[in-house]
Amino acid sequence: MTDIHSFLLPVLRLFPPEAAHRATIRALSWGMGPRDRTADDPVLATSVWGLDFRNPIGLSAGFDKGAEVPDAMLAAGFGFVEAGTVTPLPQPGNPKPRMFRLSADKAAINRLGFNGTGLAPYVDRISKRAKRAAASRGPFGANIGKNKVTEDGAADYEIGIEAVAPYVDYLVTNISSPNTPGLRAMQGREILADMIGRALHARARAVPEKDKQPPLIIKIAPDLTAAERSDIAAVILETGVDGITVANTTVQRPADMTDPQASEAGGLSGAPLFPIALEIVADMYRLTGGKVPIIGCGGVASGADAYAMIRAGASLVQLYTALVFRGPALIPRIKQDLVDLLRRDGFSSVANAVGTGQEG
């Protein structure tokens, strides 16, 4: 990992978050990104949904909404990347400012509202990328959403899935962003079952051969009641959804937060989300009997955090906000610390450690 990137981080922090982010994506797309040249320790290798991961640490959605830099982020050391949320049609999102850095809390709040250029350029990029998939260093997931004005949300997921499914390793339906009015209602039992049924059909239309179909994952919010969580688990088990991402940003504001921007509206991510997400990972693992692989996401900022997510039941881990504060050097550090923790406790693989925090 070159020092130039840690040197640039304080400079980027002088800019408003959205401008700094745009500059980062541009630099990455010009090939100026960091490279993690160390081979991942074999103890980190894992296989989920029949996909091989060099390491279980992934980039979560929202960093690369338009699928502009997935390969640059794989080169930076992530074991997998997820791009999106992408909506069928372009839309501007909410008025700016809509992204806030809460340095005192190592957190962020965003109310972007699925801003983006829509499916057409996204599919164009990933279809070209799929043609050179042999060079790929890790699985690529597409995160699908709905346009703000669409009333029948499931219809937008069908459109998105049908367009991207041939080019991706996994699919995520994001029904948990707090910044699109009504979106999170899609986590209700009946509407969720209807959406999943239609999403599975869309996947089958796009990729008829069953063994080539990318797994379908549902990304849920961290703000669900116990009853909502068990409803979701029941629907997931009934419909045959392949995985769950736990979790998206939260509308909660934990009382110990001190940053003056904590009162901004939107979804909170980063350190204050970690204990909330960890508890829901453990709960969803228990509710699904460990049968449905979970991607644990929310406030992960260290190898110890990633290890805790895995012990709670996550087969894979994702992060975004910690990168804003720690820069790309964080990725190799998390991986090395995770290797040390797995070895310390006698685990010969990530898979052997999944859910072990729930025993005894």
Ligand X SMILES: Cc1cc2nc3c(=O)[nH]c(=O)nc-3n(C[C@H](O)[C@H](O)[C@H](O)COP(=O)(O)O)c2cc1C
Residues in contact with ligand X by CB under 6 A are: 60-62, 65, 84-85, 99, 108, 110, 112, 143, 174, 177, 219, 248-249, 269-270, 273, 297-300, 319-322
Task: Judge contact between 174 and 157, C-beta under 8 A.
Answer: no
**Distance (Å) of CA 336 to CA 57, 239, 321, 341, 357:** 11, 37, 20, 9, 20
Distance of closest approach, residue 57 Cβ to ligand X, in angstroms: 11
By beta-carbon proximity to ligand X, the closer residue of 115 and 347 is: 115
Give the CB-nearest residue to ligand X: 62
Distance of closest approach, residue 128 Cβ to ligand X, in angstroms: 22
By beta-carbon proximity to ligand X, the closer residue of 46 and 87 is: 87
Distance of closest approach, residue 63 Cβ to ligand X, in angstroms: 7
Whether 177 sits among the annotated catalytic residues: the reply is yes
By beta-carbon proximity to ligand X, the closer residue of 110 and 150 is: 110
Q: Residue 111 burial by CB count (10 A; 0-12/13-18/19+): exposed, middle or buried? A: buried
Residues 6+ apart with CB under 8 A from 62: 84, 85, 110, 112, 320
Residues 6+ apart with CB under 8 A from 227: none
Tokens of 285: 């693992």
| Length of the chain, in residues | 360
By beta-carbon proximity to ligand X, the closer residue of 66 and 188 is: 66
By beta-carbon proximity to ligand X, the closer residue of 108 and 287 is: 108
Tokens of 277: 């997400």
* Catalytic one of 177, 269, 302, 315: 177
| E strands in the chain | 46-48, 51-53, 57-59, 80-86, 99-102, 107-110, 140-144, 170-174, 216-220, 243-246, 267-270, 294-297, 314-319
Distance of closest approach, residue 182 Cβ to ligand X, in angstroms: 16
Residues 6+ apart with CB under 8 A from 305: 274, 299
Distance of closest approach, residue 328 Cβ to ligand X, in angstroms: 14
By beta-carbon proximity to ligand X, the closer residue of 178 and 347 is: 178
Angle at alpha carbon of residue 40, lines to 11 and 281, rounded to 5°: 80
Distance of closest approach, residue 326 Cβ to ligand X, in angstroms: 11
d(CA 217, CA 294) in angstroms, rounded, equals 9
Report, as residue numbers or ranges, the catalytic residues. Answer: 177
